[in-house]
Amino acid sequence: MTDDRPAAEPDRPASKSDRPYDLVLFGATGFTGGLTAEYLAGRADAGVRWALAGRSIAKLEDVRDRLAAIDPALAELPLLQADTADEASIERVAASTRVVISTVGPYVRLGEPLVAACARLGTDYVDLTGEPTFVDRMYVKYHEQAVRSGARIVHACGFDSIPSDLGTYFTVQQLPAGVPLRVEAFLRVHAQFSGGTLHSAVGIFADLPSMLRAERDRRRAEPASTSGRKVSLERGPIPHTRAGWTVPLPVIDSQIVARSATALDRYGPDFTFGHFLALKRLPAAVALGIGTGVAIAAAQLPPTRALLLKLATPGEGPSAARRAKHWFSLTFAGEGGGKRVVTEVSGGDPGYDETAKMLAESALCLAQDDLPETAGQVTTAQAMGNALIDRLVKAGLGFRVLKTS
Ligand SMILES: NC(=O)c1ccc[n+]([C@@H]2O[C@H](COP(=O)([O-])OP(=O)(O)OC[C@H]3O[C@@H](n4cnc5c(N)ncnc54)[C@H](OP(=O)(O)O)[C@@H]3O)[C@@H](O)[C@H]2O)c1
């Protein structure tokens, strides 16, 4: 592997303890960023030094006014101006803090400058991306540099992919160690998406060849596993199970779980994972398949892509009243070494309220908790594991063992 460090770059940048902030939230003016800011306002310890960042100070002031209504002490919360098109402003954000949260997406278009700065400066980073192209490109370009600087780059700290990643980690810990394990996850969900999520998803659909190229480049760059562990993913057709009609979910979660399983010995010598959406009725499963096919086809041509993007505007998302009716439950069936276990991760509005909670708690966990030493692009299970599960349970998410046999 080539060494792309500039000659003068130190292996580990100067101590991060003298930086002015523990946490900076970049993208605080967006829909999910605003919810994350409100969560931090209500839950972060008084000792946490944090700031908001975004491209418009006037919009950040509006967010800060909302936060001051939650906690008057936040009326003076520092505001940092930063635009992804202005590299120096992004560098200033990354240099000012120990941990940065980014809700600035679509990440494949807007995310790279901040990951690059964090990898260079040793700043821990969390985001909400579910875009495999982005995650794979960031691995190829910045993983080695982040390992050298000590930065923990943790993508997918929202509904993509914390319930899957930490739910699998939780399930594996209920099974015997040192034996082959199989875990299948079945998602049931009632929710609606935001404009930012729609625009990110259409971006993925519109450029599937780039996703495949990025995946191939990553495979070439990744060192061969030294553990000898075999990790496999199930991708079956629609079978009928106790969970209902189950459709394989082609989202980033399986890749994230596979990376945790490759990195951590607790997943055993041979680990298999399957990730499915469970629907009560066959017509709903078929309609979902057809709908996804139509959306992918529409994303290929500019006029139909423009129509798709009009379905929701960036900055907007479901109202609080709607979100209050949303819920999710991810049921895991695990087996190995003669033991079976059924577990569940569950919560309220998955895409936004629970996502804001998961993202904020991930950042607080990196900033405050005693964690295993990791660096580079790492998953939530690798970087935070049970410390983050404990935080999420305290914050109201369910991690439960339903049945063992
Ligand atoms: N995986 C998950 O579970 C999950 C859940 C929720 C969201 N997400 C992802 O999170 C991202 C945000 O979603 P959202 O609904 O919150 O989107 P959003 O409301 O459109 O917010 C986007 C944010 O990015 C900022 N921004 C845009 N261009 C910028 C630039 N050049 N420089 C600096 N900031 C810039 C916007 O600032 P302005 O206010 O100035 O426009 C805004 O703060 C999306 O990629 C979405 O897919 C993922």
Q: What is the pLDDT of residues 324-340, one digit of tens each?
A: 999 999 999 999 999 99
Overall average pLDDT of the 351-362 stretch: 96
Tell which atom from ligand 1 comes closest to the C-alpha of 200.
47
Say which range, 13-17, 198-202, 347-351, 398-402, has the weakest mean pLDDT: 13-17
pLDDT greater than 90 at residue 184: yes
Whether residue 186 sits in one domain with residue 230: yes
Ligand 1 within 6 A of 109 CB?
A: no
In a domain, 8, yes or no: no
Whether residue 300 sits in one domain with residue 239: yes
Tell which atom from ligand 1 comes closest to the C-alpha of 55.
33
Nearest-CA residue for atom 13 of ligand 1: 196
Whether residue 270 sits in one domain with residue 175: yes
Overall average pLDDT of the 38-57 stretch: 95
Whether residue 259 sits in one domain with residue 181: yes
Say which range, 9-23, 123-137, 164-178, 191-205, has the weakest mean pLDDT: 9-23
Ligand 1 within 6 A of 106 CB?
A: yes
Ligand 1 within 6 A of 347 CB?
A: no
pLDDT greater than 90 at residue 243: no
With cut-offs at 50, 70 and 90, classify the pLDDT of residue 15: low
Ligand 1 within 6 A of 164 CB?
A: no
pLDDT greater than 70 at residue 405: yes
Overall average pLDDT of the 214-225 stretch: 90
Q: How many CB atoms lie within 10 A of CB 400?
A: 12
How much of the chain exceeds pLDDT 70, in percent? 96
The chain-wide mean pLDDT, for the chain, equals: 91
Q: For residue 258, which of 164, 346, 342, 343 has the smallest C-alpha distance?
A: 164
What range does the domain containing 59 cover? 16-157+355-385
In a domain, 223, yes or no: yes
pLDDT greater than 60 at residue 73: yes
CA distance 90 to 261: 33
Overall average pLDDT of the 55-79 stretch: 97
Higher local confidence (pLDDT), 28 or 193: 28
Nearest-CA residue for atom 42 of ligand 1: 30
130 C-alpha to ligand 1 centroid (Å): 12
Q: Specify the pTM.
A: 0.93
Quote the pLDDT of residue 2: 33
Quote the pLDDT of residue 360: 98
Tell which atom from ligand 1 comes closest to the C-alpha of 350.
3
CA distance 240 to 115: 42
Quote the pLDDT of residue 238: 67
In a domain, 21, yes or no: yes
Probe target for ligand 1 pocket from 25, 161, 197, 249, with the most ligand atoms within 8 Å of CB? 197
Whether residue 182 sits in one domain with residue 107: no
Q: What is the pLDDT of residues 84-111, one digit of tens each?
A: 999 999 999 999 999 999 999 999 999 9
Residue count (the chain)? 405
Whether residue 371 sits in one domain with residue 339: no
In a domain, 288, yes or no: yes
In a domain, 3, yes or no: no
Say which range, 74-78, 128-132, 139-143, 276-280, has the weakest mean pLDDT: 276-280
Whether residue 194 sits in one domain with residue 252: yes
Whether residue 211 sits in one domain with residue 345: yes
31 C-alpha to ligand 1 centroid (Å): 7
Whether residue 179 sits in one domain with residue 238: yes
pLDDT greater than 50 at residue 5: no
pLDDT greater than 80 at residue 67: yes
Determine if residue 175 is left, alpha or beta; phi over 0 gives left, psi from -120 to 50 gives alpha, anything else beta: beta
105 C-alpha to ligand 1 centroid (Å): 4
Quote the pLDDT of residue 99: 98
82 C-alpha to ligand 1 centroid (Å): 14
Nearest-CA residue for atom 14 of ligand 1: 196
Quote the pLDDT of residue 212: 93
Nearest-CA residue for atom 46 of ligand 1: 197
Tell which atom from ligand 1 comes closest to the C-alpha of 194.
15
Overall average pLDDT of the 22-45 stretch: 96
Whether residue 148 sits in one domain with residue 138: yes
Quote the pLDDT of residue 365: 98
Whether residue 259 sits in one domain with residue 166: yes
353 C-alpha to ligand 1 centroid (Å): 15
Nearest-CA residue for atom 19 of ligand 1: 315
With cut-offs at 50, 70 and 90, classify the pLDDT of residue 371: very high
In a domain, 289, yes or no: yes
273 C-alpha to ligand 1 centroid (Å): 30
Ligand 1 within 6 A of 105 CB?
A: yes
Query: Do residues 214 and 133 make contact, with C-beta atoms less than 8 angstroms apart?
Result: yes
Q: Domain containing 132 — which CATH number?
A: 3.40.50.720
Quote the pLDDT of residue 8: 37
Q: What is the pLDDT of residues 283-340, one digit of tens each?
A: 777 787 788 888 888 888 888 988 888 888 888 899 999 999 999 999 999 999 999 9
Strand partners, 331: 186, 344
Ligand 1 within 6 A of 314 CB?
A: yes
Quote the pLDDT of residue 6: 36
Whether residue 301 sits in one domain with residue 190: yes
Tell which atom from ligand 1 comes closest to the C-alpha of 195.
15
Ligand 1 within 6 A of 399 CB?
A: no
Quote the pLDDT of residue 296: 85
Domain count, the chain: 2
CA distance 281 to 207: 31
In a domain, 7, yes or no: no
In a domain, 221, yes or no: yes
